[in-house]
Amino acid sequence: MRSRGLLAAVSTVALLSGAVTAAVVFSAKGDAGQAPHTYAAPTVAAEHATPAAAVPATDAPSASAAPTSISAPAATAGVAATNPATPTSVSTVSVAPTLADAWSATAPAETAAPDAALSPAASELVTAIESEWGVTVVVSGQDWGLAEAAQMRNLGALAGALDSLPAGVVSLATDNSHGSLSILSNEAGRTLDGWQPYGPGAANFYASQDWDGNGHTVTSQIVLQTGANQVTIAHELLHAYQMRDAPSGSYGQALLTDEMRAFTAAAGWVQVVSDEELQSQVHGSWEEIAALFRYDGADLSYISETGETLQAFTPNPIEAFTAIGALIYAAPDGTELPDWTEYKRWFEANLG
């Protein structure tokens, strides 16, 4: 049962942010709804979106925090960028590894940012979140906002995202074969070991492996852009759930699970290659993976809480699962979603 103290804290955040408990999934500063990959890019370290262009840091809420990405994949303030990240290529002789054997990475060059001291109220909310959901909210070297109002809004978006998803999904997203989940917030797209799988710049993504300059380690991390909204965070949590049993760093492997195969078929995705070819491409680039499928399902446009007509960017079933799932479970009040009957029926029957 959710503690009354945590509910009170989140309610306070809602008042500060204007209904943060229904916020969206990407950073309110440039990734309004989706993490750079998870694919993180898949916004999984390759999981989602392209790192957002540099945007001046601000503690003011975005005027257009929309749940997922707009039809044009560019990362714009308030809109989740859901394109796969396209990091700068590095030489094969470089010590920098590639993510999932496909995503170029850059060496960790960023120094940890000075700690942005949390207010007493924000510190209490961190403790409540960690106690309630068993995650680690990383504070040292991270930026959860400068002023208390921003910290409460950003941490409230995290609490709201965790609370919006079915309990069984959250339990597998936060503690699975890759370990207990850590959640970071910084403008550099930097993991715990300082790795920037999408290069310098803000990004929202999930990573099941880290790199310290010497080798890979198995990990479970969500790296948020400071100010990420509820939908963006829910999107990344769904990536963590989705990749729970895939080998560390092997994000395309999720396509081979019975769960993802069932979702793919139910949502109108058609695999246009043989199972053998799909198996051979699970470590391919996001573009190569996207080329293995055709989408014959429902139109994925919707109207944001600010009245904008947006198009969810779903280049393949992995991203469709997280982008549409995040909207269904965590979209802000006032968002107008289509019936999306096939999607809603499948999520209700299989995730709850």
**Predicted pLDDT at 30:** 29
* Whole-number Å distance between alpha carbons of 180 and 212: 19
pLDDT at 318 exceeding the cut of 90 = yes
Torsion over CA of 19, 25, 26 and 29, rounded to 10 degrees?
Answer: -10
In the predicted structure, residue 197 carries a pLDDT above the cut 60: yes
The strand pair at 175-176 and 216-224 is best described as unpaired
Token pair of 120 as six digits: 């007493």
Tokens of 103: 């995503």
The two tokens of residue 199 are: 């290069």
pLDDT band at 313 (very low <50, low <70, confident <90, very high): confident
Q: Residue 214 pLDDT > 60, yes or no?
A: yes
pLDDT at position 115: 58
pLDDT digits (tens, 9 = 90+) for 97-154: 333 332 333 333 344 455 568 999 999 999 999 999 999 999 999 999 999 999 999 9
Over residues 31-36, the mean pLDDT reads 31
Q: Mean of the per-residue pLDDT values for the chain?
A: 74
Q: Which amino acid is at 199?
A: G
Instruction: Give the pLDDT of residue 50.
Output: 33
Mean pLDDT value of segment 218-246: 95
In degrees, rounded to 5, the angle at the alpha carbon of residue 85 between the alpha carbons of residues 82 and 90 is 180
Residue 146: left if φ>0, alpha if ψ -120 to 50, beta else—which one?
Answer: alpha
Q: Measuring CA to CA, how many Å separate 83 from each of 35, 60, 292?
A: 9, 25, 17
Lowest mean pLDDT among 10-19, 103-112, 222-231, 239-248: 10-19
Tell me the pLDDT tens digit for each residue of 88-98: 222 222 233 33
pLDDT score of 255 more than 70: yes
CB-CB contact of 149 with 13 (8 Å): no
Lowest mean pLDDT among 46-50, 222-226, 231-235, 260-264: 46-50
Does residue 167 carry a pLDDT above 80?
A: yes
Buried b (16+ CB within 10 A) or exposed e, 222-252: bbbbbbbbbbbbbbbbbbbbbbbebbbbbbb
- pLDDT level of residue 330 (50, 70, 90 thresholds): very high
Provide the residue ranges of all domains of the chain, joining segments of one domain with +.
4-350
pLDDT at 285: 82
Q: Is residue 204 exposed (0-12), middle (13-18) or buried (19+ Cβ within 10 Å)?
A: buried
On whether the CB atoms of residues 191 and 106 are closer than 8 A, the answer is no
pLDDT of residue 6: 56
Distance CA 31, CA 227 (A): 9
pLDDT for position 276: 92
Q: What would you measure as the largest C-alpha separation in the chain, in angstroms?
A: 56
Tokens of 55: 């945007």
- 23 vs 334, higher pLDDT: 334
Query: Residues 265-299: pLDDT tens digits?
Result: 999 999 999 999 998 988 888 889 999 999 999 99
Residue position matching structure tokens 């803000």: 202
